Amino acid sequence: MLAISASSPLVEVADLEVNGVLALAGPSGSGKTTLLRMAAGLARPERGRVTCGGETWLDTERGIDAPPERRRCGFVFQDHALFPHMTALGNVRYGARGHERRALGLLERLGVAHRAAARPRELSGGERQRVALARALATGPAALLLDEPLAALDPRTRAGAGRELADVVAATGVPAIVVTHDFTEASLLADEVAVLDAGRIAQRGTPSQLASSPASGFVADFTGAVVLTGTARHGASGLTRVELDGGGSVESTDAAEGRVAVSIHPWDIALGPLAGSAHNRLHARVTTVTRLGNRTRVGLAAPQPLTAEITTESAERLALRPGGEVDAVWKAAATRLLALGSARP
Amino acid sequence: MTRAAGRAFPIALGVALAAVLTFLTLPVVAIFTEASPGDLLSSLGHDGALDALRLSLETSAIAVGLVVAIGTPAAYVLATRNFRGKALVTTLVELPLVLPPAVAGIGLLAALGPKGLLGGPAPPLVLETAGVVVALAFVSAPFYVRQAQAAFESVDPSLLEASRTLGYGEAATLARVAVPVARPGLAAGLALALGRALGEFGATLMFAGSVRGVTQTAPLAIYERFGTDFTAALALSAVLVAVSLALLLTVKLADAGDLR
CB–CB contact A97 B167 (8 Å): yes
Q: In chain A, which residue's Cα lies nearest the Cα of B178? A: A83
- The least confident of A50-64, A185-199, B12-26, B147-161 is A185-199
Q: In chain B, which residue's Cα lies nearest the Cα of A85? A: B181
Share of chain A above pLDDT 70, in %: 96
Nearest to A334 by CA among A248, A260, A259, A239: A239
Q: Cβ of A81: how many Cβ atoms within 10 Å? A: 25
pLDDT exceeds 60 at position A309: yes
A57: distance to nearest CA of chain B, Å?
Answer: 13
B146: distance to nearest CA of chain A, Å?
Answer: 23
CB–CB contact A85 B180 (8 Å): yes
Q: In b/e form, how buried is each residue of B59-92, taking b as 16+ CB within 10 angstroms?
A: bbebbbebbbeebbebbbebbbeeeeeeeeeeee
3-state secondary structure of A60: coil
Q: Read off the pLDDT of residues A103-140 as tens digits, 9 standing for 90 and up.
A: 999 999 999 999 999 999 999 988 999 999 999 999 99
The predicted structure's pLDDT at residue A341: 54
Residues of chain A found within 8 Å of residue B168, distances taken between Cβ atoms: 69
pLDDT exceeds 90 at position B17: yes
Q: Read off the pLDDT of residues A194-213 as tens digits, 9 standing for 90 and up.
A: 999 989 999 999 887 887 77
pLDDT exceeds 60 at position A35: yes
For residues A146 and A168, give the distance between their C-alpha atoms in angstroms, rounded to a whole number.
Answer: 12
| Virtual torsion, Cα A9, A10, A14, A15, nearest 10 deg | -130
Q: Read off the pLDDT of residues A141-171 as tens digits, 9 standing for 90 and up.
A: 999 999 999 887 876 777 778 888 888 999 9
Average pLDDT over residues B13-32: 93
For residues B129 and B150, give the distance between their C-alpha atoms in angstroms, rounded to a whole number.
Answer: 32
Is the distance from CB of A249 to CB of A242 less than 8 angstroms?
yes
3-class secondary structure per residue, A70-82: HCCEEEECCCCCC
| Predicted confidence band of residue B136 (pLDDT cuts 50, 70, 90) | very high
A94: distance to nearest CA of chain B, Å?
Answer: 8
B175: distance to nearest CA of chain A, Å?
Answer: 13
For chain A, which residues lie within 8 Å of any Cβ of chain B, measuring from their own Cβ?
40-42, 67-69, 71-75, 77, 79, 81, 83-85, 94-95, 97, 121, 135-136, 138-139
pLDDT exceeds 60 at position B162: yes
For residues B123 and B260, give the distance between their C-alpha atoms in angstroms, rounded to a whole number.
Answer: 46
- The least confident of A78-82, A208-212, B133-137 is A208-212
Phi, psi of B85 (to 5 degrees): 80, 15
Question: How many Cβ contacts (< 8 angstroms) between chains A and B?
Answer: 60
Q: Does residue B253 or residue A315 have the better pLDDT?
A: A315
The predicted structure's pLDDT at residue A254: 87
Residues of chain B found within 8 Å of residue A40, distances taken between Cβ atoms: 165
- The least confident of A33-47, A297-311, B215-229, B242-256 is B242-256
CB–CB contact B163 A94 (8 Å): yes
3-state secondary structure of A276: coil
The predicted structure's pLDDT at residue B47: 67
| Predicted confidence band of residue B127 (pLDDT cuts 50, 70, 90) | confident
Nearest to A76 by CA among A26, A117, A110, A33: A33
For residues B80 and B242, give the distance between their C-alpha atoms in angstroms, rounded to a whole number.
Answer: 37
Mean pLDDT over the full length of chain B? 88
The predicted structure's pLDDT at residue A342: 40
Task: Identify from B155, B156, B166, B186 which residue to disrupt to test chain A contact, counting A C-beta atoms within 10 A and taking the largest count.
Answer: B166
pLDDT exceeds 80 at position B258: no
For residues B43 and B47, give the distance between their C-alpha atoms in angstroms, rounded to a whole number.
Answer: 8
A20 Cβ partners below 8 Å, 6+ apart? A170, A175, A176, A190, A191, A192
Average pLDDT over residues B11-32: 93
How many residues would you count in chain B? 260
Task: Identify from A38, A76, A79, A85 which residue to disrupt to test chain B contact, counting B C-beta atoms within 10 A and taking the largest count.
Answer: A85
Residues of chain B found within 8 Å of residue A151, distances taken between Cβ atoms: none
> Which residue of B156, B167, B180 is in closest CB contact with A81?
B156
For residues A174 and A196, give the distance between their C-alpha atoms in angstroms, rounded to a whole number.
Answer: 22
Strand order in the sheet with A270-271: A270-271, A325-330, A280-292, A295-301, A305-311
Residues of chain A found within 8 Å of residue B180, distances taken between Cβ atoms: 83, 85
Is the distance from CB of A202 to CB of A210 less than 8 angstroms?
no
> Is the Cα dihedral B107, B113, B119, B125 positive or negative?
positive
Q: Which of A86-95, A227-236, A262-271, A277-286 has the highest mean pLDDT?
A: A86-95
Average pLDDT over residues B21-37: 89
pLDDT exceeds 50 at position B260: no
CB–CB contact A84 B166 (8 Å): no
Is the distance from CB of A116 to CB of A104 less than 8 angstroms?
yes
B72 Cβ partners below 8 Å, 6+ apart? B148, B179, B186
Residues of chain B found within 8 Å of residue A136, distances taken between Cβ atoms: 165-166
Helix extents (H) in B208-229: 218-225
A163: distance to nearest CA of chain B, Å?
Answer: 24
Q: Which of A258-272, B9-23, B110-124 has the highest mean pLDDT?
A: B9-23
CB–CB contact A83 B169 (8 Å): no
Nearest to B138 by CA among B224, B70, B51, B76: B70
Average pLDDT over residues B77-98: 91
Residues of chain A found within 8 Å of residue B80, distances taken between Cβ atoms: none
Nearest to A305 by CA among A269, A273, A274: A269
pLDDT exceeds 60 at position B6: yes
The predicted structure's pLDDT at residue B13: 94
> Which residue of A79, A85, A135 is in closest CB contact with B166?
A135
The predicted structure's pLDDT at residue A227: 79
DSSP output for A162-205: HHHHHHHHHHH-S-EEEEES-HHHHHHH-SEEEEEETTEEEEEE
CB–CB contact B165 A71 (8 Å): yes
The predicted structure's pLDDT at residue B113: 82
- Whether B165 and chain A come into contact, CB under 8 Å, resolves to yes
Nearest to B132 by CA among B44, B31, B59: B59
Q: Read off the pLDDT of residues A164-203 as tens digits, 9 standing for 90 and up.
A: 888 899 999 999 999 998 887 887 788 899 999 989 999 9
pLDDT exceeds 80 at position B4: no
B181: distance to nearest CA of chain A, Å?
Answer: 6
| Predicted confidence band of residue B259 (pLDDT cuts 50, 70, 90) | very low
Nearest to A68 by CA among A122, A172, A145, A133: A145
B179: distance to nearest CA of chain A, Å?
Answer: 10
The predicted structure's pLDDT at residue A345: 34
For residues A146 and A77, give the distance between their C-alpha atoms in angstroms, rounded to a whole number.
Answer: 7
| Predicted confidence band of residue A277 (pLDDT cuts 50, 70, 90) | low
